[in-house]
Structure 1
């Protein structure tokens, strides 16, 4: 049977469930069955029992109160209801050794859920010249490179030592807790990829492979294929 992949969603201005179709399309293309999870804390344990894999998606900023900081002036829109659900789901999934893939905001949520922190606004929190991490190009096109750690799970999906990525963020991972390790960085030092050393498939990336997969990007297709394959019941 095809594995059931739970995909976290956003809320629009009317409080309705919202999700870009690229995420579901990427899971379908990889051979999984996507199910969109509405924001809310109802039945988290049962949801976690029913799904075979978890995809934490992109979206608004992460609430800094979740990692022990007060909000700074540059903090963007937050979604507390979504934060609560994704934190609970991430902890539950990792605790069960369920395959998890975090994307952009999901990359940051996974890090925070396991005890890490993030930069609220990289352009004021960090010193020195930074790349343009909120690109002006269409989201379907890559605009900078990420250097991938040799021997990492991510390196199995990348041809060569670097991968071209798209970039749509102003927050970024800061302190990384065990068992997560850094597996990819932009050339300005921003952490672009994480994975767990203690789980069969717990990974996250700062970019948006679901958008790049629309144009047949091989790394993106392999990444979603890895999630779906790891989620298959033995």
Structure 2
């Protein structure tokens, strides 16, 4: 008998020397994905060559948050304001993306994961919003418990993301200092912050979704983006 729930492969930050943190436990991601209707498999920090084998066992790929991507992946020099570069993670997540695209399974990116998706499709990032964005921006790099960490986001009314949210505008949290700059090939922007920063992207043909906020840290009624991803996985499985 097949699985009743879609199996979600969760890619996490590389565990530190103390083997603590989300890189080992899955943090808030596992309960949020589980409550939305998925089963979760923590993907090990394997080499890129193992990506196809790992992806063959899952129904959807979730790329979690974490440190900055190395800008060499989009042809730029490293900014002194970049933080948390993990070259091994970059390589394995880009390989996982390629493998997931090859299988046609949904890909969901959260915060850094949204940025990985954009870069994976040939896009670029602002390495530091406050100093590189060509327009004034609000503070986006709030701490997880900062009471000012929320802001409104406008959704594309023509995209099913707005139907999933049940609104044209939602309030999200914000914990990032980088964001989408040049949009990757085949991607479209489906959500914007009130200052113009890209808050969500989707592929025009493939089952790919990325959000710049952390839905797993929101209350369950506001985790609609995770529920949308799970529904995408269920739809692909049913084909």
Correspondence 1:1-234 to 2 at 5 A: 1-14=4-17, 16=19, 17-41=23-47, 42-136=49-143, 138=145, 143-199=150-206, 201-212=207-218, 215-218=219-222, 220=223, 222-232=224-234, 233-234=237-238
| Corresponding residue SS for 2:30 | helix
Q: Which moved more, 1:150-159 or 1:76-85?
A: 150-159
TM-score (ref. length: structure 2): 0.90
In the TM superposition, residue 56 of structure 1 has moved relative to its aligned partner by 0.5
Work out the CA distance in 1 between the residues paired with 2:90 and 2:18. 15
CA distance in 2, matches of 1:161, 1:139: 25
Instruction: Measure the CA separation in 2 of the matches of 1:188 and 1:32.
Output: 34
**Conserved? CA contact 1:67–1:117, under 8 Å:** yes
* Structure 1 residue 142, shift from structure 2 partner: 5.5
Alpha carbons of structure 1 residues 178 and 142: separation in structure 2 relative to 1, 3 Å: same
Structure 2's unaligned 5+ residue stretches are: none
The answer as to whether partners of 2:142 and 2:148 remain within 8 angstroms in 1 is: no
Post-superposition offset of 1:227: 1.7
